[in-house]
Structure 1
Amino acid sequence: MIKQAFSPLPVDEWPDRDQSLWDEAKQSAGPFDDDDGFAANWRPPTIKGCERGYGVWLGWLATNGQLNPDLHPCDRITKDRISAFVLEYGVGRAELTVAATIRNLAYVLRACAPPHGVEWLTKLAHRMMNRAKPSRPKLPRMARVTDVDLLAEQLMSAGLQQMRKGQRSGAVAYRDGLMIGLLINRPMRLRNLASLRIGHSFIIDDFGMRMIFTPEETKKGVPLDWSVPERLEPAVLTYLEEVRPALLKEGIDDEGWFWVGRRGRRMPDTDISIRVTKTTRKHLGRDLSPHLFRDCVVTEIALERPEWIGLSKNLLGHKLLASSQKYYNQATSFTAFARHGDVIREFRGK
């Protein structure tokens, strides 16, 4: 079934009471007061996600003529309404998307009516998150690290040859190859990849080429200071000195964004994701999204060097190793399929 559009209600269009409670929840106490708002220490991505989820809920209420602006946010919650919302919002959407929206709604209510908000809704949200299944299985889309790394080299080599012949399309191929090469060697999140900016988050100094992100710029609140692999440094220099200038266009101010699109402007994260996915589909036969690179890297470690699995925490920018352990699931699946193949080969050999 085709999903219906659900436009989130912007914060400045929320009912006055909702805005007031939410602003209060985000307020930090003064230096002599320990009474912070419930959401005062939430990270910006968490705040943004919660505002979107709650905005979707308010928008649905408004569309259905059920948004009473005078009610407290918690008083609009009933099990019947939540059931109707989930039923309608869930059409055509992944279980995880629906669960995350309910969780964000529950968290806003907790912040507006601390510490519990609507307790049964919070429990429901956590249960939905735990039971949600990915819309697309990861395993069939994953690829070996060596194959991805080789593809990156081939794209850059072919792109450079095209550029030498005066073909501007070669710059695009080279750029895409470098994206893939950086992702498979430094599996950063898409948001950080897209925000690379020369002289800011991308720096060349006495320590080499580095990609630096503050805690506020990372999902887990962990500062990242990643060096570009030494063997990729010549490729990056070629990109900065030859390829990127070929992508820029006259009349457009160069603001230093690392990734430049065909029109000479900064590439948004959505464009980067589309380019990476289309390129890996074309050459590897796999829809390898930028986020899936992280699964590939840690799964390969678990398969080939399980004694190094402790490195996965730093590779992925997690605070805890437990956050990375879930990738063992993919490695376990790979092992199971390999053993299954051995049994089949043994059977056919008899």
Structure 2
Amino acid sequence: MSRPKIVWPDADREMFETLFTPGGPLEPRGPLAHVRSTTRKSLAGRYAQWLSWLSRATPDALQSPPVERSAMARMTNWLNDREDLAPMSRLALFDAVLRVLSAAHPHLDWSDHKALRARLRRAAGHGTQARKRGRILSSRVLLDAGRQVSETAEALPAGRMARAISLRDGAMIALLVLLPMRRHALAGLQIGPSVFVSETRITIALPELLVKSGRPWETEVPEPCLSVLRRYLDDGRPVLAARGAGDDPHLWLDRSGRELSYDYIGPRIASVTERVLGKRIPPHFFRDAAATTLARMSPESTKLIRPILGHSSDRTAERHYNHARSIEAGRSYAALVAHLKETSR
């Protein structure tokens, strides 16, 4: 049974709205007005979890101003009460609440809270790797899966909804393999503003709002993804668009002709890859696959990880290179053991 939705106290609602005020000639700009809408939604959801816990654990505290409820002892009790969560999830919750409160009261001393956040970050590391075990496949395998979905769809009668959807799914997977953008960017692609189609090429241009680093990112869609994407644009998307008003500019459409929602894309890609490969591969794993595949190729190839993933530093590239080296070392050791077995007979 789901818990009832928490009603935000007026003080919290007003604080939150002030933080995101866009500003104007007679109105100051909020300190968090620059963040993306998805980030704002994420902060609101996590802050609501804090309020929900307060309403259960210390309901009288909701009568106090938001900043007065943030005593270290109370927040530590909250985190202790959420030990059911993975370390990375606890970090995300605490970081969101701290970000909101410290932005609303930047002149207060938050050093103890930041020290606690640092301890949570060390405990979380790079997140739970167990869920990725066995699911970071080669980019070649993922590309073959996308092409297989698209080619299988071509055998279906033209104009059929199932054909159009499979052409879309195959194109999404193929595009993610060769241009492993984040799900937010993938969902936000629009023909005209960020997808430019000509007779000879298709160009993807992501504005800074769709890139985590805040830097615009542009590239041409390479083969063999290019032909898969054109197949969807020529034969699949028109069928989907015809089910709606026909004027939605989003690249990915659902069966009603409207944009494919951010929340639907992740589970859909995971479901299709499970059907084809036997493993659920969510969109973010495509980024790990690209980084690991490049790292396995050669040390020089790791230089491509940063620009392909749109990162602002080389730390991720170094981590994947080290991971790939450990994999190759394990394989070499296994081959040596097998050889020793053969020669000892």
Q: TM-score range by the shorter chain?
A: 0.7 to 0.9
Match of residue 109 from structure 1: 101
Q: What is the deviation of 1:344?
A: 3.2
1:226-285 C-alpha deviation (Å, 9 max, x unpaired): 221144333322211211122344454441221122343322123221222122222223
From the superposition, tell whether residues 37 and 273 of structure 1 become closer, same or farther in structure 2 (CA, over 3 Å). Answer: closer
From the superposition, tell whether residues 29 and 283 of structure 1 become closer, same or farther in structure 2 (CA, over 3 Å). Answer: closer
From the superposition, tell whether residues 79 and 6 of structure 1 become closer, same or farther in structure 2 (CA, over 3 Å). Answer: farther
1:99 corresponds to which letter in structure 2?
L
Distance 2:215 2:42 in 1: 19
From the superposition, tell whether residues 344 and 316 of structure 1 become closer, same or farther in structure 2 (CA, over 3 Å). Answer: same
Match of residue 146 from structure 1: 140
**1:242-281 paired onto structure 2 within 5 Å:** 242-250=235-243, 252-281=245-274
From the superposition, tell whether residues 119 and 71 of structure 1 become closer, same or farther in structure 2 (CA, over 3 Å). Answer: farther
Note if contact 2:164-2:236 (Cα within 8 Å) is conserved in structure 1. Answer: yes
Q: What is the deviation of 1:341?
A: 1.9
Match of residue 158 from structure 1: 152
Partner secondary structure for residue 162 of structure 1: coil
Match of residue 287 from structure 1: 280
Match of residue 303 from structure 2: 310
TM-score, length basis structure 2: 0.85
From the superposition, tell whether residues 288 and 205 of structure 1 become closer, same or farther in structure 2 (CA, over 3 Å). Answer: same
1:276-298 C-alpha deviation (Å, 9 max, x unpaired): 21222222232211100011111
Distance 1:190 1:7 in 2: 29
Q: What is the deviation of 1:65?
A: 4.5
1:203 corresponds to which letter in structure 2?
F
Distance 1:218 1:314 in 2: 12
Q: What is the deviation of 1:225?
A: 1.4
Partner secondary structure for residue 140 of structure 1: coil
Structure 1 window deviating more from structure 2 (123-132 vs 179-188): it is 123-132
Q: What is the deviation of 1:115?
A: 4.4
Q: What is the deviation of 1:305?
A: 2.6
| 1:85 aligns to 2:78 (yes or no) | yes
1:74-113 C-alpha deviation (Å, 9 max, x unpaired): 321234432332233342x322112110111122222122
Distance 2:317 2:40 in 1: 24
From the superposition, tell whether residues 336 and 6 of structure 1 become closer, same or farther in structure 2 (CA, over 3 Å). Answer: farther
Instruction: Calculate percent identity across the aligned residue pairs.
Output: 26
1:148 corresponds to which letter in structure 2?
L
Within the candidate set 43, 46, 50, 1:53 is matched to 46
Match of residue 118 from structure 2: 126
TM-score, length basis structure 1: 0.84
From the superposition, tell whether residues 308 and 41 of structure 1 become closer, same or farther in structure 2 (CA, over 3 Å). Answer: same
Note if contact 1:155-1:176 (Cα within 8 Å) is conserved in structure 2. Answer: yes
Note if contact 1:8-1:58 (Cα within 8 Å) is conserved in structure 2. Answer: no
Note if contact 2:135-2:280 (Cα within 8 Å) is conserved in structure 1. Answer: yes
Note if contact 1:259-1:266 (Cα within 8 Å) is conserved in structure 2. Answer: yes
1:209 corresponds to which letter in structure 2?
I
1:308 corresponds to which letter in structure 2?
S
1:53-88 C-alpha deviation (Å, 9 max, x unpaired): 222212221233425355343321234432332233
From the superposition, tell whether residues 25 and 262 of structure 1 become closer, same or farther in structure 2 (CA, over 3 Å). Answer: closer
Partner secondary structure for residue 222 of structure 1: coil
Match of residue 322 from structure 1: 315
2:119 corresponds to which letter in structure 1?
R
Distance 1:341 1:7 in 2: 54
Match of residue 298 from structure 1: 291
| 1:99 aligns to 2:98 (yes or no) | no
Note if contact 1:220-1:318 (Cα within 8 Å) is conserved in structure 2. Answer: yes
Note if contact 2:55-2:62 (Cα within 8 Å) is conserved in structure 1. Answer: no
Note if contact 2:178-2:225 (Cα within 8 Å) is conserved in structure 1. Answer: no
Match of residue 180 from structure 1: 173
Distance 1:328 1:115 in 2: 41
| 1:209 aligns to 2:212 (yes or no) | no
